[in-house]
């Protein structure tokens, strides 16, 4: 029902979406949107494992390994931060679908240009632009996924999708082995980037069929379209559906001002803002430093530069198994105990790894095993950071909130981390690298402690129940 004069709408669209059983339609959403994390994992891992090869004479680029693992990595993350903010704002204003198509195209073009690099400055530029597209993806995709997935499945699906990053990482790591060993030094790395373009095009073809978020539609004055779209989804899912419980009355607006978005996060939800920043900074320090720099560690301390992909693939598989096996517990045991346990637990394991490494008790295989254990636990926690910030803020600010926390947290850990840690590893002194491990561990533990005190019990709750829309006149979750 829509009040033309007052611009209000009372709708059961959220309840209708949340009561849907899991279906082939939901798998289409997961494949069309969630697979972008595979692309990100592929991108980051390829660069990390190609760092030694790119630095060799005859690669076609005059660049050092430290520049690849440090400068280029930092520029990629800087691009991701700016892209998240820019496209996050556009996503809340113009819709999820338009932006998750645009951001993927940006990624595809930038990756292709990276493959054609002829000088260091060109490589740096298009690593930045690739990150710019990927950052936009994080904002557009996480908001769309959470608004389309039923509440009882939202935690595990979101965590598993974010964890699929490591499927791409494993694939990228294994791909680099034959490309580095069986092809000329100036060809293999170019083909590696080209494979990312091929995968991205395939994802784009699937993504064309993913609809706009009905939640975004009814808030932005397109209530009839939202109702029609949900009806089509229900028809596609089929079966005997229970009566939807609850409704929401909205004062519709075409757009929400940036000042109001900022006020919402800082003044209305200050504790949730501190929580989001803590979780993102913790996982960014741990992951960006090691993801970009692990090949450098293997090369510097163990003289392994062409078969690093095998080692990284093992770590990547451990990372994916974490969200896959632990994800359901975030919906059953609960968000707060699981998030805090994964952050603190991974930090403690990493402190142990740092001590063993400093004592010279690890070789390439045992260090990889230690990291596999650390990141099995940490991966589920890191994925939950995206889940947390995408569900604890109002609908109108969702994409921008994701973008804000991703940008600030990743800038703190993802830009500073690779730059500082690459220098520490480059010294070749075990104690310096152990210090890098310790920094990541302490920050992860601190974030886990923040979750214990400020975490939100969001498991199996509707998004509107966790945080009422800014434009809501009323929210009835029991009608």
Q: Write out the two tokens for 109.
A: 């073009």
Q: How confident is the model at residue 4 (pLDDT cuts 50, 70, 90)?
A: very low
Say what the pLDDT of residue 346 is. 94
Q: pTM, whole model, 2 decimals?
A: 0.83
Q: Determine the pLDDT at residue 459.
A: 93
Tens of pLDDT, residues 278-335:
999 888 877 765 655 677 788 888 887 666 667 878 888 888 899 999 999 999 999 9
- Residue 103's alpha-carbon distances to 74, 112, 136, in angstroms, are 20, 14, 6
Chain-centroid distance of CA 448 in Å reads 18
Q: Tens digit of pLDDT for each residue in 403-442?
A: 888 888 777 766 677 677 777 777 888 888 888 889 889 9
Q: What is the mean pLDDT of residues 131-136?
A: 88
Strands 2-3 vs 472-476: parallel, antiparallel or unpaired: unpaired
Of 148, 166, 296, which Cα lies nearest the Cα of 212?
Answer: 148
- The DSSP-derived string for 402-460 is HHHHHHHHHIIIIIHHHHHHHHHHHT--HHHHHHHHHHHHHHHHHHHHHHHHH----TT
Q: What percent of the chain stands above pLDDT 70?
A: 91
- Of residues 164 and 7, the one with the higher pLDDT is 164
Q: Return the DSSP state at 478.
A: -
Structure confidence at residue 414 (pLDDT): 63
Q: What pLDDT score does 1 carry?
A: 38
Find tokens 């490591």 and name the residue: 166
Instruction: Pick the closest to residue 45 from 240, 215, 288 (CA basis).
Output: 288
For the chain, give the longest Cα–Cα distance. Answer: 74
pLDDT at 229: 92
Residue 462 contacts residue 18 (beta carbons within 8 Å): yes
Of 421 and 25, the structure prediction assigns the larger pLDDT to: 25
| Phi, psi angles (nearest 5°) of residue 250 | -120, 135
* Angstrom distances, CA of residue 144 to CA of 25, 26, 337, 348, 387: 14, 12, 26, 34, 12
Kindly indicate the confidence band of residue 359, based on its pLDDT and cuts at 50, 70 and 90.
very high
Q: Which residues contact 315 (CB under 8 A, 6 or more apart)?
A: 169, 294, 368, 371, 372, 375
């Amino acid at each position: 029902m829509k009040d033309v004069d007052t611009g209000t709408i009372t709708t059961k669209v959220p309840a209708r979406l949340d009561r849907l059983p899991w279906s082939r339609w939901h798998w289409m959403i997961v494949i069309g949107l969630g697979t972008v994390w595979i692309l990100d994992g592929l991108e980051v891992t390829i660069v990390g494992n190609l760092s030694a090869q790119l630095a060799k004479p005859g690669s076609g680029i005059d660049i050092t390994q430290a520049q690849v693992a440090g400068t280029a990595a930092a520029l990629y993350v800087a691009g991701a931060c700016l892209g998240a903010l820019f496209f996050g704002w556009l996503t809340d204003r113009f819709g999820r679908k338009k932006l998750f198509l645009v951001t993927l195209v940006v990624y595809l073009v930038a990756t292709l240009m990276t493959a054609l690099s002829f000088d260091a400055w060109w490589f740096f530029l298009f690593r930045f632009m690739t990150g710019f597209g990927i950052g936009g993806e994080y904002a557009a995709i996480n908001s769309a996924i959470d608004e389309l997935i039923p509440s009882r499945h939202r935690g595990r699906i979101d965590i598993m999708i974010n964890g699929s990053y490591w499927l791409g990482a494993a694939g990228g790591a294994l791909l680099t082995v034959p490309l580095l060993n069986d092809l000329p030094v100036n060809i293999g790395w170019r083909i590696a980037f080209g494979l990312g373009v091929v995968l991205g095009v395939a994802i784009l073809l699937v993504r064309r069929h993913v609809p706009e978020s009905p939640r975004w539609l009814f808030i932005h004055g397109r209530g009839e379209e939202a109702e029609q779209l949900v009806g089509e989804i229900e028809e596609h899912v089929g079966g005997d559906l229970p009566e939807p419980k609850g409704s929401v009355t909205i004062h519709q607006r075409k757009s929400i001002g940036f000042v109001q978005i900022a006020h919402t996060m800082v003044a209305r939800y200050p504790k949730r803002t501190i929580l989001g920043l803590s979780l993102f900074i913790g996982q960014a320090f741990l992951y960006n430093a090691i993801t970009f720099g692990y090949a450098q560690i293997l090369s510097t301390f163990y003289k392994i530069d062409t078969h690093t992909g095998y080692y990284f693939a093992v770590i990547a598989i451990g990372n994916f198994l974490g969200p896959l096996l632990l994800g359901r517990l975030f919906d059953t045991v609960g968000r707060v105990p699981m998030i805090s346990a994964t952050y603190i637990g991974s930090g403690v394991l990493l402190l142990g790894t740092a001590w063993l490494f400093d004592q010279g008790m690890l070789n390439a295989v045992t260090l990889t095993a230690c990291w596999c254990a650390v990141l099995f636990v940490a991966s589920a926690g890191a994925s939950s950071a995206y889940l947390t910030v995408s569900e604890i803020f109002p609908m109108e600010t969702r994409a921008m909130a994701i973008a804000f926390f991703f940008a600030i947290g990743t800038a703190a850990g993802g830009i500073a981390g690779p730059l500082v840690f690459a220098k520490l590893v480059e010294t070749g002194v075990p104690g310096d690298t152990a210090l890098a491990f310790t920094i990541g561990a302490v920050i992860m533990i601190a974030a886990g402690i923040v979750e214990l005190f400020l975490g939100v019990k969001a498991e199996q709750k509707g998004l509107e129940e966790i945080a009422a829309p800014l434009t809501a006149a009323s929210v009835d979750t029991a009608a």
